[in-house]
Amino acid sequence: MKPMYMYKPQCGTIRTSSCRKVPNILVCGKPGAGKTALIQAVTRKGVVPDGAICYGRAAAESYDAYETGVARFIEYSEKLQSADNRNCQVIWCCIDGSDLYPEKNQLIGKLEKNTLLVVTKSELMSKEQNQSVMSMLCGFANKENIVMVSAENMTGLSQLMQKTRQILSANMNEESRESWKNYYSSMQSKWQESAGDTAENYIKWASQKAAAITAEPLLFANEVHMICKLAGVYGIPADNATIKMLMECSGTKSTNRSTAASTCATGKAAKAYFESGMTLSPSELNRKYNEAKKEAQKLQTVIKKQQNT
């Protein structure tokens, strides 16, 4: 007898549920892209068992469908053009962000309005990979349709499910909206807390690194890397325009910079920007930066006094 959590359609055809009608979310991508781990991360415990995750090879035979009370996640280990997606309301096209040389041919030829490009394993991406992947994807699709996630660190998941719900909202009645909210309320809180903790760790790491940097170009590169990492924590692809705006609002051109304090303040301002859904104005960002820099400088002063005693 097959486990109750899994439903396998015949002949590779996606069918609607025989019980309660819920939306189909098609999760496609090459083997090892992290599709099963992603589905496990956005569903309650027990929906996807640990044994279902296979590393580097196709875990799905035809289609594997994981049922929840609010959606059906259908995994397919091939390119989307070879999948039957007629009955899918949302499509996640998964791309392994940790690939050293990401290729455009991993993607589909035509993106539908209900398709999200999901960059998985963002925690493994280097600075060079981050910029390379984002440059390639932003030239291929609308930035609003790109989400960076880490099933390992539980980052970007809140952004992914928010964008998914936005696509589904037109066809959701009041009961479906309430069910979705109830299903994801506790998970959203956990994801947001995890994202905040991870962001603070990145800021601390970059600030400590900045304390040992004496050359301005290296400090600049360090802060750019930090901003890219912070953007990834919140599932947002950091393009050059976003990075430039954040750096300018954070006083990058100032000649009187205390490296560690400035880097910490830049990180705090960027974190606030991404947490707000990128709604903070340049003046608000500059205020966040100045407030954070004062706090960082006070902390530096206290630490120096303690070291001298």
Of residues 86 and 201, more confidence is placed in: 201
User: Is the predicted pLDDT of residue 39 greater than 60, yes or no?
Assistant: yes
What does pLDDT average to over the chain? 81
Burial 203-232 (b: 16+ CB within 10 A, else e): bebbbebbeebeeeeebeebbbbbbbbbbb
Would you say residue 52 lies in a domain? yes
Tell me: pLDDT of 90 over 80: yes
Element (H, E) at 108: none
206 and 157 in a common domain: no
pLDDT at 7 over 80: no
**Could you tell me if 114 and 199 lie in one domain?**
no
213 and 264 within one domain: yes
Give the domain-ending residue among 167, 187, 207.
187
How much is the average pLDDT of 65-88?
Answer: 78
- Are 62 and 151 contained in the same domain? yes
User: Does residue 243 sit in the same domain as residue 152?
Assistant: no
Local confidence band at 13 (pLDDT 50, 70, 90 cut-offs): very low
Q: What is the pLDDT of residue 276?
A: 92
Last residue of a domain, one of 187, 204, 236: 187
Q: How many CB atoms lie within 10 A of CB 135?
A: 13
Domain residues for the domain of 256 are: 189-308
Would the pLDDT of 24 be above 90? yes
Top pLDDT among 125 and 257 is at 125
Does one domain contain both 181 and 196?
A: no
Positive or negative: CA dihedral 42, 46, 48, 54? positive
Last residue of a domain, one of 141, 172, 187: 187
With bands split at pLDDT 50, 70 and 90, how would you rate the model's confidence at 303? low
Report helix, strand or coil for 46. coil
Residue 1 lies in a domain: no
Q: Which is nearest to 26 in space by CA: 99, 114, 138, 98?
A: 114
Q: Are strands 90-96 and 115-120 parallel, antiparallel or unpaired?
A: parallel
pLDDT of residue 255: 47
Percent of the chain with pLDDT over 90: 42
| Residue 6 predicted with pLDDT over 70 | no
How many folded domains does the chain comprise? Answer: 2
